[in-house]
Amino acid sequence: MIRIENLTKRYRNLQALQGINLGVKEGELFAYLGPNGSGKTTTIKILTGLARPTSGDAYLDGFHIERDTLKAKKQCGLVTQTINLDHELTVYENLDIHGRLFHMSAGERKARIVELLEYVEIFDRRNSPVKHLSGGMKRRVMVARALMHKPRILFLDEPTVGLDPTIRRRIWSLIKKIQQNGSTIFLTTHYIEEAEFLADRVAFLDEGRVAAVGKPQDLMAQLGSWALDEIADGEMETTYFRSRDEANRHIERQKGGFALRRVNLEDVFLSMTGKRVKPA
């Protein structure tokens, strides 16, 4: 559904993307992970037609993003990091304008708005100005707007940033429901547990290059099942173990502070790059 071939992007003296090669299958939820400045948002801007690559090719459902720009853009919906709704308009009006931009008829727009607002569980606020909504409600409106024209691919760029854990998990449930209804989802996030819970596969991006691609459980299994964090000479050191018994035998020989926990995706990225994935 998404195919990226040798994609590069340069901004003056900054090489934002350096020969990215990726493929995302139809119906897959693909998480794109990396620290700030690694090239995640640049990739999404290129794939959604908001920026042009310096070189390389990308396709959405078989349509080239530069040679078939309009057809490619019709295949995708985008939920950005920032809340870019019109805060003075109502929820209904925001979705209606989006439908008009995609040349949907009045009847089609009305039916789709009702369907989507019920889908994201915000129909009762359809006549409320956006400025009166909570952050979580605004995110749900943005998701509904992105789905108005029935795109086959949904791009989610940090969709839960700034939300409290309870609201974040409600958005997770919505994302999984969208996937189960047949959409292909391309997700960027700083929340490692979000990727672990949602993604079928993940890619780690570091300084514009793909460091690894795979299923979350497969990538974590390469390190082990358990991680022991220890403070040594004022610095954190992490040791990985295949079993808890192995970790416990190691702990019996140690002194000082330590914490035993399950291996997570951030451990995988840290072991590859020496960097942590942190929220902005």
Residue 151 and residue 34 in one domain = yes
Residue 83 in domain? yes
241-250 pLDDT, tens per residue?
999 999 989 8
Residue 142 has pLDDT above 50, yes or no: yes
Mean pLDDT of the 127-148 span: 96
Same domain, 178 and 233: no
Convert the pLDDT of each residue in 6-61 to its tens digit. 999 999 889 999 999 999 999 999 999 988 888 999 999 999 999 999 999 999 99
Q: Mean pLDDT throughout 254-273?
A: 86
Helix (H, G, I), strand (E, B) or coil at 119: helix
- Total domains in the chain come to 2
For the segment 206-230, the average pLDDT, to the nearest whole number, is 94
Question: How many whole angstroms separate alpha carbon 231 and alpha carbon 122?
Answer: 47
pTM here? 0.91
d(CA 123, CA 111): 12
153 phi, psi to nearest 5 deg: -125, 135
- Is-contact 240 224, C-beta < 8 A? yes
Comparing 39 with 254, the larger pLDDT belongs to 39
**What's the average model confidence in pLDDT over 104-133?**
97
190 and 252 fall within a common domain: no
| Dist CA 199 CA 43 (whole Å) | 18
For tokens 């939300």, the residue is 163
More confident residue, 86 or 233: 86
Clarify whether residues 63 and 111 are in a common domain.
yes
Same domain, 162 and 115: yes
Q: Write out the H or E segment, with its range, that includes residue 110.
A: helix 106-119
Q: Is the pLDDT of residue 103 over 60?
A: yes
The answer to whether residues 136 and 178 belong to one domain is yes
CA distances from 224 to 147, 197, 206, 216, 227 (A): 39, 18, 22, 13, 8
Round the average pLDDT of the chain to a whole number and report it. 93
Same domain, yes or no: 196 and 255:
no
Q: Is 96 left (phi over 0), alpha (psi -120 to 50) or beta?
A: alpha
pLDDT of residue 277: 65
Dist. CA 64–CA 203, nearest whole Å: 22
Res. 117: pLDDT tops 90:
yes
The secondary structure of residue 12, as a DSSP letter, is T
pLDDT tier at 276 (50, 70, 90 boundaries)? low
Say whether both 236 and 174 belong to one domain: no
For helices 135-147 and 91-101, the axis angle rounded to 10 degrees is 20
Q: Are strands 55-60 and 63-64 parallel, antiparallel or unpaired?
A: antiparallel
Residue 167: is its pLDDT beyond 70?
A: yes
Q: What is the pLDDT of residues 69-78, one digit of tens each?
A: 999 999 999 9
Q: Is the pLDDT of residue 2 over 90?
A: yes
The range of the structural domain enclosing residue 228 comes to 224-262
Q: What are the distances in angstroms from CA 71 to CA 16, 62, 68?
A: 26, 10, 6
Q: What is the pLDDT of residue 280?
A: 44
